[in-house]
Structure 1
Amino acid sequence: MGRADARRAAQSSARRAGKNEKKSGIRRLFTWKKILGAFLGVCLLGILGFIGLYLYVGVPAGNKSAQLQSNVFKYADGSVMARAGQVNRETVPLSKIPKPVQHTFVAAENKTFYQDSGVDLKGTLRGVINTLSGKGKQGGSTITQQYVKNYYLSQEQTISRKLQEIVISLKVDQKFSKEDILAGYINTSYYGRGAYGIQAAAQAYYGVDSDKLTVSQGAYLASLLQAPNQYDWAIASAAGKQRVQERWAYALDNMVEMKWLSPEERAQQKFDVPKPPKPLPGLTGQASYIVEAAKKELFAQGVDPGEFEAGGWTVTLGIEKNRQKDLEASVKRKLLDDLKPNQRSVDGDAQLGAASVDPKTGHVVAMYGGAGYPKHYTNNATRSDYQAASTFKPLVLAAALQNGAQTQNGVPITPNTIYDGANRRPVVGGTKPFAPPNEDERTYGKISVQTATNNSVNAVFAQMGADVGLDQVKQTAVQLGLNVPKSEVQPAMALGTMGASPLQMAGAYATLDNHGTKVTPTMVVKAVHTQNGVDKEVPLKDPIGGEVLSRKTADTVTSVLTGVVDDGTASSAVKNASYKAAGKTGTSDDNKSAWFVGYTPKLVTAVGMFGESPSGGKQVTLKGTGGGGRVNGGGYPARVWADYTQSALGDSSGGDFDLETDMGAAVPPPAPPTLTPSAPATPTAPSTPTHPPTTTPTQGGSPSDTAGTGRPTGRPTPTDGGSGPPNGGTGGKAGGNTGGNTSTGGNTGTGGNTGTGGNTSTGGNDSLPNLGN
């Protein structure tokens, strides 16, 4: 062997030795014992780390977004009027989800839910591996884990978030019952169509509440949770529809396996195709006004606005769906169809508001506020910036009767008291000089309170306000629910110069209809706040209060107001009604507002029409609206009222007024007295009027308008009279002025009694239609 060969052999031997030495070093470094030790060490560190994580991570507060709910407003019959809020979710307790429907969710998502500890380690490990490998979101989580993800965490897919999910799920499973967890999962999950939670989903897909869901419907909703958009029947592809039906069948088959559904019941299940999607009932049209009015009412009763806007409230209203539709239809038929704003600019200024109240319950059963958001944001039914006008006059009469008020001559004020209805007659005894004009500058002469009410004579009620006392009038108005500022306590107050809303006027007249027991119109019948599956009902004030007027006072005013409907300013619009009614018209200064507030024994409705400039909301005249002249309360407002009331009462006549009074147009006049044989001859009596009853009138107003004290021989003592001056001359004057019959003097007093006949001559004005008030 040469040197070269020897050298190569030595180098080769050295290389082999180096390799053997290197292999021996690797073996010494990575022995199976060391590998096992390292593995056990890593496991120990992992266990210790998890224990530390378990001790460190607590159950956090729920996400605010997961707690957001919509507020649901319902009609009196329980059907949904509107949903309002950032999220379409209405949390319901498990008791409102049928047990078989609960089982569909468990069968579809997590068969071992009732037995597991809240975590599926195998499924979770698979999800972690898939996340690390970039395969995206994967299934495998338990119902508890999904609830934790929805309610406590976020939807992001990271290792740290997944570890948090595991720890919190274990703790939640220990802290809460399976029922609580299942309810939370069902209520926080997203079902598509903007619906969060099973209640919103039940409405969105099947148009029912959660407690009405069938097993088949529940299985579909449970199947949706895997892929809400792909499985929504309305937008799903053919493949998506097939997959959701397969998952639906999978859930039902699992229910059979879990003994929650018998094979026979399973065989009977048919796939219930969901309804097409429709817009959520929202704040449009009249619902926009009604919901806002209901919210203000709740806030006034102590509900925190911030808590309310966070959602979870179910508010049941007194609004009756059919009557609400009737009111809207009547406004359209009797007013809106006449308006042509493109041809008459004044038609664009006309606004109408109405409120209808059940006088026995105090519930607002219908409301009309205007064109609706966003065309008109002001609720015309609750606005109080327009004059109540002559609809306030019955409150003046109520104050007079309630306080036993007398005329300037000490004569008690009753429906049969005679006043001077002369146009621009100066008020006597008032706080300030006041001589208001009558409508159309008409002079009525000597008329009864009944006739003055029928024809809405300003001169009479201006004097009556002074006779009663403006402070007493204000007190009565406030007791009936009106807001009368101190600045309004002026002589013109008796003619309704202060502002009032249709809702307030409906309440005042409802109190009259309710025989003097206070009625506060109320929108909300029931308010329930659901939080964490627990329902809490808010205590609400009773709409029916105590007595603010004596029954005789209230019933007498009602009796008088029947004359306005039968023979007065509202008779033209209401003459064909099939029900008994009472009410009062009103028209304000410059014709900026026109009113009719009327009632039957079962229903009270106030209709106000207001002139409002579309630019800036300035008050303007209604004159010319609809192509006519002056808009009177007996016109559009009374027509809307009559049409609505007829529809709202339906086949019911509305009943009869149960009145405890012997005065007013609703009370039949007494029979003429029978003369005894020994009685001397008396003057020929005039014909008996229909309104008011034949009783001895008394005169109010100026000191010269006084009644005689005498009475004819053989006649009964008059019940409605008053003591006059000791001489009989004035009595003869009264008789001559009113009846045209002369008196024989103060002793016989024939003139005072025959004044009723004179009242009949002015009472002929009762039949004149629509004098504007």
Structure 2
Amino acid sequence: MNGGPGRPVPPRRPGEQATTQLPPVANQVQREPGLLTHREPDEDPDMYDDDYYDDDEPELTEDEERRLRKKKIWKRVRIASFVALGLMILGPILAVAIAYPLVNWPKPEEVAAGRNKTITLHWSDGSEMAKISQPGQNLTMLTLDEVPDHVRKAVLAAEDANFYENPGFDAKAIARAVWIQATGGSSGGSGLTQQYIKKATGQDDPTLTRKFTELVKAYKMSNESDHDTILTAYLNTVHFGRGADGMKAAAQVYFKKEMKDLTPSEAALIAGMIQTPSKSENEEYREKRWNFVMDQMLQKGWIDQTYRSSEKLPTPLNFEETRPAGLEGPLARVQQQVENEVDSDDVGLTMERAQKIGVDIYTTIDKNMQTAATDAVNAVLEGQDAELRTSLSAIEPTTGAVKAYYAGKDGLQGIDYAKGTIQEAGSTFKPFDLVAALQMGKGIGDTYDSTPRIINGVPIRNASNTTCGKQCPIKQAMIESLNTVFYDMVANDTGPKAVADAAHQAGIPETVMIDGKAKQTLTGKEGAAPNTGIAIGADDAQVRPFDMASAFATFASRGVYRKPFFITKIEGPDKELLYQHTDKSAPAFDPDATKSRDIADNVTEVLKEIPKKGIACANNRECAGKTGTHELADNASQNSKAWMVGYTPTLSASVWIGKDAGNVAIKDRSGNPVFGSGLPGQIWKKFMDAALNGTPVEKFPKPKPLGNFEPPKKSQSVPPSSVTPSSTTPPRSTDPDESSTKPTKPTKPCGIVGCPTTSTSEEPPPDPINRRDPTN
């Protein structure tokens, strides 16, 4: 082809040549539909994303962006919530479905066959003291028709009022318990069926695994048996306190009745103990639980308002009258203290569990010392007034172990005269005055005016047998028990609170349980500070005899306090160690152990002179101690209580003598008033000599002098006193180491269990009658 006339046409570049081989296509050929699985998207997916913006669209404002972000967040939260809700619903259902065929619930007959094993008590040397059983050990299985309707309903009201409506567990109760615990409270949430599982298996670990397994077992039990069967099993198994498993045994130990004879009110009291059976002897707790059960029964229509309003809290019989036979005489009180300790927070085992598995309990009680205590009491009181009551408690200062415990000859039939009664301590309380003085920098050589006089408006006097001059050193005043010195010391120097604090530091508990009620010690009415009468062991100086042995043990251990205990260890059926006592000692009188030691040693330096006057220990053994009495409120020539508390480096013992009536005269067989160095002192000496016979003779360490350790070598002039001497001459004491004085206020008559505080004011008005004081 030519490029024009007369010229050749240049060759075309590739791609520029015309395609003339095929005819032109008139219409576009239609594409074949692609497969959906491989089809390319027709549109960009990002255009629907929240973050996609067309370049032509205006930018969002900050508020719009914030709303958009919030919308995205809530969308994700909703999705997560739906997923979580699904898991919450389906997860437990799946877990229960998996666990259901794998668990078995305890059959009542199997539980009955394995209930309550024997508990063996051992002396401190490991030899057997006794085997003890508990109420219900041989209990026959109840049938539901044996249980009165009001008894069933009392138990349901106490523990699971909606029992017959729930499937083995109460979902509302569980949710409520979760909420209470989440907000800092305490609640179990277990229904009656779950409680049966826990009691029957003995498994109560506070773990989610145990709780879940318990719930599945309860659900399975509800499916495989009826509610009546479950309730019957529960009534045969649950622990009601006082060692009673099952309602039949509980009816006996609380009211000594057959179950069919219980009133609805009595049944409510027993049922109320299921929650915390270890508090069965706490009257305040019993009343609280009884009111709860009665109110629940009223709400459910199981009793009417007339009955609810007319009923008063039932008073169960004294446990000592209803418990099955065990140890007798003084040893019965030892058993009681051991059982109380098993139930205490210190041990953390509970008698309920101990009964279920059968244990060996190794006590601190020394067989020879316990025998010595009983023999000493019997020998000294033989032929004396049959109404005299006494207690003897002995504690090892270096450990806190109770080595002997004599709380009364009648065992459980009478009062526990060691830990079940509080009494005015008399002059045995004066060593705590000395502790308070030493803590403020004074020494045993410091002097005070010993003449009878009115101090802060109160007439105070001594016995006429004092050998001290007007200015008497504290050491000599303690030996002669001069009330004027110690009342002056507390009224004008230490203050009564410092004395109470010193006693608490030594080992007098701030709160004790007396007759089922908590009582504050060494305080005035409603917890007020004690008055000055505490200086001479009167008014607010009320203590348990057992605690005085503990407090003086702190002096013996050179200022180290150790809480008294009765159990060294507990072994299970296979000799596995379930509990072991550990020493938890601490300086008593000062955080600095050295200073606390020095204070105790200075007290001992004074007290070791007192037993030398008629009740010295045998074999020239060094002993320290203090006597004391409390006089009658209406007869200054007679005493109503007498004490001797003393110690060696290895043993501390407290002896108390009084009468059940409290405010009556205690006299020996010759009709003479009993003083501390009399019958109590003789019992103490006889016991200490026998208990320590054959043991090494130890001496007290020489004290490091504190303050003015030695009295002035020559008399010094004393400024005229602003106080007025009493013109009344006191009667002479019949006991050379006993002194007498006028109390801060006449003590009202009271029973042996505990005297009420007689004064709340710091300084009561003087009594116009100048009587002897109950201080020695």
The TM-score normalised by the length of structure 1 is 0.49
Higher helix share: 1
The TM-score normalised by the length of structure 2 is 0.49
